[in-house]
Amino acid sequence: MLARLLPLQHFARHGAGLSAIELGCGNARLGRELRELGLVTRYTGLEVDERQHAKNLATPVAGMAFVQAGAQAIPCDDQQFDLALMLKSLHHIPLHAMGKALDEVARVLKPGGWLYVSEPVYAGALNDIVKLFNDEGMVRAAAQLALDEALDRHDSPWQALHELRFDMPARYTSSADFEQRMLYPTFADHRISDATLQAVRAALAPHLGPDGTRFTRPMHVRVLQRKH
């Protein structure tokens, strides 16, 4: 999807790989793939989860740097990157800081640089289960509103480039796998009660098969470009 919307291959063919920053990088899977493909030559991943950040540091890769920081205070100089990635991360930023985070991203992008934002849509069977313990309806709407407001400002550094929706596969190998990844992530405490746990297990049960679950998660992608 990223390569479909942005001319990454053009840069690779001409030996000019991109510099990229990812806000809320998690395990930096996409960043590692982009490095392996030669599409990104310099990558910086920001992550607020201490445990995940430590794991990233423990598996160093040439050309990849990891920093423990949030998007609302990016510890990088101005105009350093060609591409910024926010994959299911904008809605995790505190509501009052979303606008500041988008300003920070604009600051560290080069003129003409891109911001690729992929956010989960508040719909679908998986969402119906997740909202039993982590209802993100308000914060997901706030993330889209923050993007709208960033674009609509009279002094906006952004212009809208692309917008589309797609369905992303979401697979869990078992009920235990779902619970570990979704109910008890290292970056959040959902305060799961026994009653909530039983409700989640009951809602998940119809979707479980011999090889686990297979959901599709509707996603909303927006690509903004830093004005020259």
Give the pLDDT confidence of 41-94 residue by residue, as tens digits: 999 999 999 999 999 999 888 999 999 999 999 999 999 999 999 999 999 999
CA distance 216 to 207: 12
Q: For residue 65, what are its two tokens?
A: 């740097």
Beta strands 81-87 and 18-23 are parallel
3-state secondary structure of 95: helix
Helix ranges restricted to H, 37-97? 50-58
What pLDDT shows up at residue 16? 67
Question: Of 4-18, 65-79, 164-178, which range is least confident?
Answer: 4-18
pTM for this prediction: 0.93
Q: What is the pLDDT, as a whole number, of residue 228?
A: 85
pLDDT score of 13: 61
> Across all residues in the chain, what is the average pLDDT?
94
Q: Which helix (H) or strand (E) holds 101?
A: helix 98-108
pLDDT (0 to 100) of residue 8? 83
Selected residue with higher pLDDT from 136 and 16: 136
Q: How far is CA 1 from CA 5, 96, 114, in A?
A: 6, 30, 14
Quote the CA–CA distance of 221 and 163 in Å, as a whole number: 6
3-state secondary structure of 193: coil
Q: How confident is the model at residue 190 (pLDDT cuts 50, 70, 90)?
A: very high
Which residue pairs, CB below 8 angstroms and at least 24 apart, start in 99-102? Answer: 99/146, 99/149, 99/150, 100/72, 101/23, 101/70, 101/71, 101/72, 101/146, 102/146, 102/147, 102/150, 102/158
Sorting pLDDT into bands at 50, 70 and 90, what band is 131? very high
Task: Give the CATH architecture of domain 2-121+135-167+218-226.
Answer: 3-Layer(aba) Sandwich (3.40)
Given this model, what pLDDT does residue 12 score? 62
**pLDDT tops 80 at residue 191:** yes
Task: Name the nearest CA neighbour of 181 among 5, 1, 26.
Answer: 26
Q: Provide the CA 23 distance to its chain's centre, in angstroms.
A: 7
**Where are the domains positioned within the chain?**
2-121+135-167+218-226
